[in-house]
Amino acid sequence: RVFAEFLIKHDYSVLTFDYRGFAPNTEQKDLHLAQWGSHDLKAAIDYASQLADGKPMFLLGHSIGGQVAALADSLDKVRGLIFVASSFPYWKRWPMPKRLSIAMLFKVLTPLIAAFTKSFPSKAIGLSSTNLPSVLVAEWARWMSKDDYLLDPEFGLDKSAYTNRRGPALAFGFDDDDLVPEASFDKLLSAYGRCDLQRRFIKTQDTRWNTGPVGHMGFFKARHENPLWNECLQWLEQHSETS
């Protein structure tokens, strides 16, 4: 919310939304992660397009929001993409010894917990800012078992939607984000390989950025207005002006 208010203060209109699966008593058997892109994000883009009245639109996807963005067939209405802490996580891309704990979490504990719960304790584990439906976390773990993540042929999703995406993109990753090792960050960027991409994998102790701790969720905290939010704003202003 604070980041949205920052953009509004600089004359941008902002639409935020929740993905399916978080309402009380949601029926889980028909839930699939890909629907967050193909249905929910698509609907949000279509609605925003009605409100935008021809003005350029940009999509900011945090974490899985960047992973599933290309699944929305309305994405061509969006001029540019911003990825924050997004990646294609595959358990073998974590460096040792972290790889061992990730493998234990997603190959053993996640399927076990998901089998006996409807709401996965993802907030307590540090995977999300809120608990997620267990059926979706179990599906996420299956994606993570593949080098190509959700684009592995086993899952039947359209890889060309990623490779055919063009236009400007800005990507932020952080070296203190335990959920997004640099190799996984770059794997996502390679999926969007035809975009005019500006890559920002930030060493959080680097004096050029001087961000201090950011992690997986921290980008949206007010203390990161300078330099991170302003870097994002500058990019938006640059690409809002081009025809």
Q: pLDDT digit string (tens) for 29-80?
A: 789 999 999 999 999 999 999 999 999 999 999 999 999 999 999 999 999 9
Domain ranges, residue 23: 2-89+157-241
Q: Is residue 113 part of a domain?
A: no
Q: To 10 degrees, the CA torsion angle through 112, 115, 120, 121?
A: -40
Q: Is residue 171 part of a domain?
A: yes
Q: Is residue 118 part of a domain?
A: no
Q: Is residue 15 part of a domain?
A: yes
The whole-number average pLDDT for the span 98-117 is: 92
Q: What percent of the chain has pLDDT over 70?
A: 98
Q: Is residue 123 part of a domain?
A: no
Residue found under tokens 């939010």: 229
pLDDT of res. 24? 65
- CA separation for the pair 79, 167 (Å, rounded): 7
Residue 80 token pair: 């540019």
Q: Is residue 98 part of a domain?
A: no
Per-residue model confidence as pLDDT tens digits over 13-26: 999 999 998 776 66
CATH of the domain at 73: 3.40.50.1820
The number of domains in the chain is: 1
- CA separation for the pair 5, 3 (Å, rounded): 5
- CA separation for the pair 242, 230 (Å, rounded): 19
* Residue 149: pLDDT over 60: yes
The answer to whether 220 and 2 are in contact (CB under 8 A) is yes
- CA separation for the pair 124, 144 (Å, rounded): 20
Q: Is residue 229 part of a domain?
A: yes
Q: Is residue 152 part of a domain?
A: no
